[in-house]
């Protein structure tokens, strides 16, 4: 399921959770929450009265105009049980009231069972978690699943751009979420460091570069090499135009353009291991790797292992031969090897050319098998744009036909493109939004807006610059990650840095506000809530929202969706701001109430920080 929304009200969250039979996400080292307890007891109640197990148990928050905390929707069970909704709700409600100590009372309205949860349940929950900075986060268990997440996977002929940023942010965040759900996670990338596109940059540098280097120009290596990829395209177009003027067709001109012929010849020399070409290839690729590392560091992402296409492209041929012997593949008259997937609703797919050379599918087959040999994993996630959806359907099906059981646990984290108000990006024409430039521009935008708001009195210049970086990156990451990965994004930098609404800076500002409260609370805040404590409705609403955090992590991990974490955090912040506006925290006279509200504020801050950490976003102590 991937029904993710740009914003997620609590009602929608409960609705999604109910339809996923959410109690199945309880881990053996995580206590069952109240919804899971109720689901289990509803199951018992139906079995007792009707001698069957219900197929559907659905909860939602109780409407604010009715008494209750959680509502059981009984209608989905009626077809199976053949009784009236009111009668069914009364029987289940009475059973819950008798058997579940956390249930204080219930009422039935038009077939909806509204359940009132005792304050004691929330008091116990709060006392248990109030000092836990790791609330909701699971450490990997000894039998934890090993999951590999592949992301980034750039070409070494150009710098990272806005599209790569979405890829990196998704892959990194999904890795962190899977880890927080109790899994052992390995982050990898495969760097596309070979092929004609690499040779294009090399040829252009040889012809026009005058031996310049990153050191001599002061440019990042990936930027320098990318400039020559653009230069190649410019010269290539000139030569095509010249050949067409001489009477060549478009197709002939493209194939015969001298600079393109040189690039093809360079590729042949590389494949033949020509020492001079390989040396240039190694030098220019290293420039790019050094540049990538600076961008990754600025973006806050990392990897456990890099794979290189120059090494992986030789993988897979043995697997094709074995598949031929087993009848998975077949050979055509020209010697090429294919697989017929028409029975599965797909098409025929080539896996080996007639000259015996590999295609991308061959490499991906071999690389997948190699990774399962390299790491103790049983799942793998590919973070790749949605234009490759068919490719991965074919890849996963081939691996399954080759007899690999883990093929069923392969997942394509497909995502939509990132567009700009000015239109689509094109690498060859040099119209991409460079990742480094965008990161700098986001910090500059944060600076401009912060200065307009006048919120930085008393900050040193160093503190200001660090804050601009945190706010700018937080705005960028949140703007991208709050959206369902499958959706296309129109990226608007200024909109992302708004300090109001569903934005990273708005959430960061709330966190900083809470830190200010905690700094001013110069008294002992260690006392536990007493059993006689009575909640203000805003306090209870906030605790209920906090309580959803562990299950949000589980659901986000199951759906590979950082959007669930992002929008949960936004809902938590909205709930806190409603609490903040309706009750006094430090100004209240009652000591127990004051201590509790400071503790509750601190717990909310911990959850905000944890949620944002899963998104790769930092939170400032002051704003």
Is the confidence at residue 411, as pLDDT, over 50?
A: yes
Q: Are strands 379-385 and 305-308 parallel, antiparallel or unpaired?
A: unpaired
The whole-number pLDDT of residue 139 equals 86
In angstroms, the Cα distances linking 139 to 180, 193, 411, 516 are: 7, 36, 23, 30
The answer to whether residues 614 and 562 touch, using CB atoms and an 8 Å cutoff, is yes
Query: Which residues lie below 8 Å from residue 44, measured CB to CB, with a gap of 6+?
Result: 95, 99
Q: Give the model confidence (pLDDT) of 302-333 as tens digits.
A: 999 999 999 998 899 999 999 999 999 999 99
Beta strands in 328-370 (DSSP E): 330-331, 337-340, 348-352
Residues 465 and 488: their CA atoms lie apart, in Å, by 32
Query: Which residues lie below 8 Å from residue 228, measured CB to CB, with a gap of 6+?
Result: 200, 201, 202, 204, 205, 208, 209
In angstroms, the Cα distances linking 364 to 186, 188, 279, 395 are: 18, 14, 27, 7
- Global pTM value: 0.89
Share of the chain above pLDDT 90, in %: 78
Q: What domains lie within the chain, and their CATH numbers?
A: 31-117 (3.30.1360.70), 435-615 (1.10.730.10)
Query: What integer is the mean pLDDT of 579-599?
Result: 95
pLDDT tier, 396 (very low <50, low <70, confident <90, very high otherwise): very high
Q: Is 121 exposed, middle or buried (0-12, 13-18, 19+ CB in 10 A)?
A: buried
Q: Give the model confidence (pLDDT) of 505-527 as tens digits.
A: 999 999 999 999 999 999 999 99
- The per-residue DSSP string of 494-526 comes to HHHT-SSSSSHHHHHHHHHHHHHHHHH--S---
Residues 539 and 126: their CA atoms lie apart, in Å, by 11
| Least confident piece of the model among 167-171, 284-288, 318-322, 559-563 | 318-322
Residues 384 and 149: their CA atoms lie apart, in Å, by 11
Give the residue from 569, 413, 595, 579 showing the smallest Cα distance to 502. Answer: 569
The whole-number pLDDT of residue 387 equals 95
The whole-number pLDDT of residue 32 equals 63
Residues 117 and 102: their CA atoms lie apart, in Å, by 6
Average pLDDT score, the chain: 90
Which range in 55-69, 359-373, 453-467 is most confidently predicted, on average pLDDT? 359-373
Residues 464 and 163: their CA atoms lie apart, in Å, by 29
Residues 127 and 529: their CA atoms lie apart, in Å, by 6
- The per-residue DSSP string of 285-327 comes to HHHHHHHHHHHHHHHT---SEEEEHHHHTTTTHHHHHHHHHTT
| Least confident piece of the model among 173-182, 359-368, 457-466, 612-621 | 457-466
The whole-number pLDDT of residue 422 equals 64
The answer to whether residues 270 and 206 touch, using CB atoms and an 8 Å cutoff, is no
Q: Is 399 exposed, middle or buried (0-12, 13-18, 19+ CB in 10 A)?
A: buried
pLDDT tier, 209 (very low <50, low <70, confident <90, very high otherwise): very high
The answer to whether residues 68 and 104 touch, using CB atoms and an 8 Å cutoff, is no
Give the residue from 34, 35, 45, 36 showing the smallest Cα distance to 96. Answer: 45
- The per-residue DSSP string of 373-397 comes to HHS--SEEEEEEEGGGHHHHHHHHH
| Least confident piece of the model among 60-69, 300-309, 452-461 | 452-461
Q: In DSSP terms, which residues pair with 184 in a beta bridge?
A: 146
């Amino acid at each position: 399921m991937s029904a993710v929304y740009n914003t997620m009200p609590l009602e929608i969250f409960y609705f999604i959770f109910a339809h996923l039979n959410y109690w199945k996400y309880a881990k053996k080292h995580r206590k069952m929450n109240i919804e899971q307890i109720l689901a289990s007891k509803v199951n018992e109640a139906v079995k007792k009265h009707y001698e069957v197990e219900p197929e559907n148990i659905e909860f939602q928050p109780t409407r604010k105009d009715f008494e209750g905390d959680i509502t059981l929707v009984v209608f989905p069970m009626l077809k199976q049980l053949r009784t009236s909704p009111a009668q069914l709700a009364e029987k289940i409600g009475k059973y819950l009231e008798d058997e579940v100590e956390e249930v204080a009372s219930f009422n039935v309205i038009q077939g909806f069972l509204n359940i009132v949860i005792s304050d004691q349940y929330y008091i116990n929950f709060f006392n248990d978690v109030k000092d836990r900075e790791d609330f909701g986060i699971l450490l990997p268990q000894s039998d934890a699943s090993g999951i590999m997440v592949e992301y980034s996977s750039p070409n070494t002929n150009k710098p990272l751009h806005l599209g790569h940023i979405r890829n990196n942010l998704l892959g990194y965040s999904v890795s962190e979420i899977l880890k927080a759900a109790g899994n052992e996670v390995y982050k990898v990338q495969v760097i596309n460091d070979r092929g004609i596109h690499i040779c294009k940059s090399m040829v252009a540098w040889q012809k026009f570069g005058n031996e310049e280097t990153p050191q001599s120009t002061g440019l990042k290596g990936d930027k320098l090499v990318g400039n020559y990829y653009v230069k190649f395209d410019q010269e290539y177009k000139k030569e095509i135009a010249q050949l067409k003027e001489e009477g060549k067709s478009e197709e002939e001109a493209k194939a015969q353009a001298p600079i393109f012929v040189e690039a093809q010849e360079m590729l042949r020399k590389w494949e033949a291991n020509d020492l001079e070409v390989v040396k240039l290839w190694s030098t220019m690729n290293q420039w790019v790797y050094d540049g990538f590392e600076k961008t990754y560091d600025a973006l806050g992402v990392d990897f456990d292992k890099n794979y290189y296409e120059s090494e992986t492209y030789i993988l897979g041929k043995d697997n094709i031969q074995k598949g031929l012997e087993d009848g998975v593949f077949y050979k055509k008259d020209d010697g090429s090897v294919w697989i017929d997937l028409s029975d599965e609703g797909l098409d025929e797919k080539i896996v080996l050319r007639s000259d015996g050379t590999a295609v991308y599918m061959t490499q991906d087959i071999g690389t997948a098998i190699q990774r399962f040999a390299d790491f103790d994993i049983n799942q793998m996630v590919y973070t790749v744009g949605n234009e490759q959806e068919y490719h991965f359907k074919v890849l996963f099906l081939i691996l399954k036909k080759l007899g690999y059981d883990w093929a069923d646990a392969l997942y394509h984290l497909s995502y939509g493109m990132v567009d700009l108000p000015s239109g689509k990006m094109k690498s060859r024409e040099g119209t991409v939004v460079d990742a480094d430039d965008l990161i700098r521009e986001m910090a500059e935008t944060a600076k401009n807006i912060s200065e307009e708001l006048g919120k930085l009195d008393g900050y040193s210049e160093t503190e200001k610059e660090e804050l601009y970086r945190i706010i700018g990156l937080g705005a960028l990451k949140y703007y991208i990650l709050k959206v369902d990965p499958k959706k296309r994004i129109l990226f608007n930098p200024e909109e992302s840095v708004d300090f109001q609404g569903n934005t990273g800076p708005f959430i960061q500002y709330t966190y900083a506000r809470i830190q200010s409260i905690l700094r001013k609370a110069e008294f002992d805040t260690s006392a536990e809530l007493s059993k006689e404590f009575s909640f203000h409705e805003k306090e209870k609403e906030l605790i209920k929202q906090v309580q959803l955090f562990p299950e949000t992590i589980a659901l986000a991990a199951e759906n590979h969706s950082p959007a669930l974490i992002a929008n949960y955090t936004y809902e938590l912040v909205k709930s806190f701001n409603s609490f903040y506006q309706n009750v006094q925290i430090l100004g209240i006279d009652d000591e127990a109430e004051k201590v509790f509200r400071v503790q509750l504020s601190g717990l909310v801050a911990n959850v905000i920080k944890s949620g944002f950490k899963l998104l790769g976003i930092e939170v400032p102590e002051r704003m």
